[in-house]
Amino acid sequence: MVTDISTNYTSPAGKDYTIAAGRFAGINPAARVLDMGCGYGESSCNIASEFRARVTSVDISEENIEFAREYAVRKAVSHLITFHIGDIMETNLGGEPFDLILAEGGIFSFIGRRRGLALSRSRLAPRGWLAFSDLIFIADKAPGEVLTIFEDDRFHYETEGSYRQLIKEAGFSLEFTCLVPPSGWDNYYAHMARRLEDQKGFFADRKIKLAFHKEIDVFYRLGGSRYVGYLVCFARAFD
């Protein structure tokens, strides 16, 4: 069931998890937050609006950052957010550590999970918080169509158990974890369906439209939630 038709989140984990991460981390106007792979800026704007914290937002897509900047203006939080276009692994963000790092939308799978966790650990203040969400497999076997649409041959997704081990090895204590409920998937795909009506930009490309239409079809036709889940984790850096 779609519960948030207006969301701009590009993953099944939405606003509730972003705000919960801020509350776990005790974010306030003096805090510094990094949004890795900020996408359309929804998380950055939600953190800035809710906690009045300073947010540094990075995304490799110029189109995403352009949208995010305009969105921040509409949400009246542009003065609290600094946007950077670039690869999060290479972008110079200065030496001051962050109190909370958001790594939503599966960015760790894109940049490499060990690399992403290590980068996060290196940029956090002592006892700082990391909040991330990522796709995992929750079944031993999944239909070939499901494996294909989520590109498991490229990303080789973790299970919850294997992700827990990676978190521990990276120097974090896992404080909270859950799977996003079905409504999160419905919100995500409703957002994707709206974007597939775009006449310019990333979603205007015919191949992109076909790929997302196929993903939506396969997920619902084959009951994708029986095989894949979206894992949300809040972890804290060891001293």
- Domain limits of the chain? 15-184+225-237
How many residues in total does the chain contain? 239
pLDDT at residue 65, as a whole number: 97
Q: How far apart are CA 173 and CA 117, in angstroms?
A: 12
Are the C-beta atoms of residues 39 and 59 closer than 8 Å to each other? yes
| Cβ count near 62 (within 10 Å) | 10
Q: How far apart are CA 181 and CA 37, in angstroms?
A: 23
pLDDT at residue 98, as a whole number: 98
pLDDT at residue 132, as a whole number: 98
Residue (of 33, 76, 23) closest to 53 by Cα position: 33
Q: How far apart are CA 105 and CA 226, in angstroms?
A: 20
CATH 3.40.50.150 is right for the domain spanning 15-184+225-237: yes
Q: What is the pLDDT along the chain (239 residues), one digit of tens a residue?
A: 778 878 889 899 999 999 999 999 999 999 999 999 999 999 999 999 999 999 999 999 999 999 999 999 999 999 999 999 999 999 999 889 999 999 999 999 999 999 999 999 999 999 999 999 999 999 999 999 999 999 999 999 999 999 999 999 999 999 999 999 999 999 999 999 998 999 988 889 999 999 999 999 999 999 999 999 999 999 999 87
Q: How far apart are CA 53 and CA 47, in angstroms?
A: 7
Is the pTM higher than 0.85?
A: yes
Query: In 86-208, at which residue ranges do the beta strands (DSSP E only) sit?
Result: 98-103, 124-137, 172-179
Which residue's structure tokens are 């979603």?
A: 203
Neighbouring-strand partners of residue 102: 35, 131
Q: Residue 175 — φ and ψ, nearest 5°?
A: -100, -25
Q: Which helix (H) or strand (E) holds 239?
A: none
pLDDT at residue 201, as a whole number: 85
